[in-house]
Amino acid sequence: MHDDDQQDQAVGAPEIVAVREAHRLDEAALATFLGDHELLDGPLRVEQFQGGQSNPTYLLTSGEARYVLRKKPPGQILPSAHRIDREYRVMHALRDAPGVPVPAMRAYGEDESILGTEFFVMDYIPGRVFSDPGLPDLAPAERGTLYGAMIDRMADLHSVDVDAVGLSDFGKPHGYVERQIKRWRSQYEASTDAPDANMIALGDWLADNVPGDVAPAIAHGDFRLGNLLVAPNDFTVAAVLDWELATIGHPLADLAYACMPYYLPQGIPGLKGIDGMDLSAAGIPSEADQLARYRERRGIGPIDDWPVFMAFSLFRIAAILQGVYARAKAGNASNADALAVGKQATVMAECGWKIARNAG
């Protein structure tokens, strides 16, 4: 029995389930691969993490050894999506970066004949995941601590010297937001036969209001509470997860994305919003508090074009959710709840367009 088995039953413990039929692996081929990389410590057991809408993620247990496997999903996927090679590279590059905890990378499987798609293996780190930004299972002081830790880890990531960690060629240093608008508009259009009017209007507005460049940084691309692995016994961040969208880009895109729950209504399934909560009573910092904490930790001045970054975040997540919905209809999304979650794309587009209209 593993020492963290009790933790696995605790509040916030990731849900581990039997491997879904659509995501079954050739376990014999996987065992051979692990053995070749000296990662086996006995018979192999494979289970799947429930949650996340993109790359299937598995828990591998072999004797006392535990690892996590991430792989591209099966079936037809959109161009440039599910770049687990980039995910592997950025986490490996950040292995010694101060303030940015990541799991140790163990092996990369580029030969698709092994498991059907590319994959990688990394260390398993015990911890908890809190995907609901309202943090209903925590006390007010604990909520405030975790929200602060999220901002601190993000600011530390954005302070990493890109050249020093070998990621100078990981993305284009300028024009990030403009490229992202084009990318997600293209991905959205490829995922639907009936584009939403709010999404079209929002895309047009963003194209006309692209913010200026700043010093480039490593942008995680999906930085939020649900992608932080929280330590089992306190509210420090044990690891930052899910790096497939990482690139060299505008750091404020990450900050806006993490602040998105402030603009989404509380209590609607799939939206994960806190708009309408009594934040002070809940112990959750306000958006202004989070922005001030980020600025102080990074030593930067006032943030310009904040409504543009927030509207862009909603535009991007709407496009991502539309892709989730399209994959769910095709039967190859990685989460059993993907159909329900994907339908929230229209709500995200509506919220983003409201911000754009109010900004003028």
Structure tokens at 20: 């879904």
* C-alpha torsion sign, points 125, 105, 327, 341: positive
Q: Which CATH number fits domain 140-359: 3.90.1200.10, 3.50.50.60, 3.40.50.2300, 3.90.650.10?
A: 3.90.1200.10
Instruction: Give dist(CA 245, CA 84) in Å, integer.
Output: 9
- DSSP-derived letter for residue 230 is E
Each residue's pLDDT expressed in tens, for the chain with a length of 360 residues:
455 544 444 688 888 999 988 889 999 999 999 999 999 999 999 999 987 557 899 999 999 999 999 998 877 665 556 789 999 999 999 999 999 999 999 999 999 999 999 999 999 999 999 999 999 999 999 999 999 999 999 999 999 999 999 999 999 888 999 999 999 999 999 988 888 999 999 999 999 999 988 888 999 999 999 999 999 999 999 999 999 889 999 999 999 999 999 999 888 777 789 999 999 999 999 999 999 999 999 999 999 899 999 999 999 999 988 888 887 777 665 666 666 666 788 889 999 999 999 997
Contacts of 318 by beta carbon, 8 Å cutoff, 6+ apart: 188, 196, 199, 345, 346, 348, 349, 352
The residue extents of the domains of the chain are 7-123, 140-359
Residue pointed to by tokens 């605790």: 10
Distance, C-alpha 263 to centroid of its chain: 18
Q: Residue 336 phi/psi, 5° resolution?
A: -65, -20
Distance, C-alpha 13 to centroid of its chain: 17
H helix and E strand count, the chain: 12, 10
For 7-123, give the CATH class: alpha beta
Q: Residue 359 phi/psi, 5° resolution?
A: -75, -20
